[in-house]
Amino acid sequence: MFLSDQEIISLFCERSENAITELNTSYGAYLKNIAFHILGKYSDIDEVLNDTYFAVWNRIPPEEPKVLRHYLSRITRNLAFKRLEYASAAKRSSEGIDSLDELADCVPDTRENVEGILEAREIGAAVNRWLGTLSEEKQAVFVLRYYYSFSLREIANRMGCSERRVKYLLSTMRGSLKEQLEREGFGE
């Protein structure tokens, strides 16, 4: 029996010890799947999951996520990405590293920003505006590759098309996103 998202959030607000157990019951497999796609390595997944639960415990309250599923996926994705830096140093291969490398095609100007690190939120908003101009199929392909780090084969299987088409779509989308970011001044 799964608790609803609101019931799980209430457990966190009450600081109940059952909160993490229920969270794991409802979302453990989903979050493991996300971490695995990014890391391509099973041994670190449990640590990423534990770090995710710890982060959620510290954030709720005061935060009250609108969609718990997406809220959790963002935390797990970020934590897995941090671990990926160690993995990259060890030259491990994973879909996370491959998709990260592909994103270099979208970067208008690779020089360091004079004001320091660009606000990820601002770039994210620009990406959302650009996504809004795409068809639902393209939106899904982009999100599956660069948010969930799915392989080309996995995306092709789910979209019902060939890997070649997925590769082509991603290539054209990266070019289009680069132009959008340049238009919005991120390359200056």
Partner 1 sequence: MKKEDLYHAMAYIDDKYLDKAEKYRNRSVFGFLHSQSRKIAAVLAVVLILAMGTGAYASGIFSPLNGDDFSLRSEYLGEGIVAVTIENRSEKDLHLQPKTKLMLFYANLEIPARGSVSFSETKIPAHEIRVIRIDLSEAYDIAMLEAPIEKDHYYLILTNNSFFFGHDWHCSVKFAPTDPK
Q: Which residues bind partner 1 (CB under 8 A)?
A: 29, 32-33, 36, 40-43, 45-46, 66-67, 70, 73-74, 77-78, 81, 92-93, 95, 100-101, 103-104, 106-110, 112-113, 117-118, 120-121, 123-128, 131, 136, 139-140, 143-144, 146-148, 150-151, 153-154, 157-160, 181, 186-187
Query: What is the closest distance, in whole angstroms, from the C-beta atom of residue 89 to partner 1 in the complex?
Result: 14
Nearer to partner 1, 17 or 128 (CB): 128
Query: What is the closest distance, in whole angstroms, from the C-beta atom of residue 172 to partner 1 in the complex?
Result: 17
Q: Which two tokens stand for residue 67?
A: 């969609």
Nearer to partner 1, 32 or 59 (CB): 32
Query: What is the closest distance, in whole angstroms, from the C-beta atom of residue 127 to partner 1 in the complex?
Result: 6
Nearer to partner 1, 15 or 153 (CB): 153
| Residue among 68, 172, 63, 186 at smallest CA distance from 121 | 186
What span, in angstroms and rounded, lies between the C-alpha atoms of 49 and 27? Answer: 10
Nearer to partner 1, 22 or 154 (CB): 154
Q: How far apart are the first and last CA of the chain?
A: 53
Nearer to partner 1, 1 or 110 (CB): 110
Q: How far is CA 142 from CA 30, 167, 169, in A?
A: 19, 11, 9
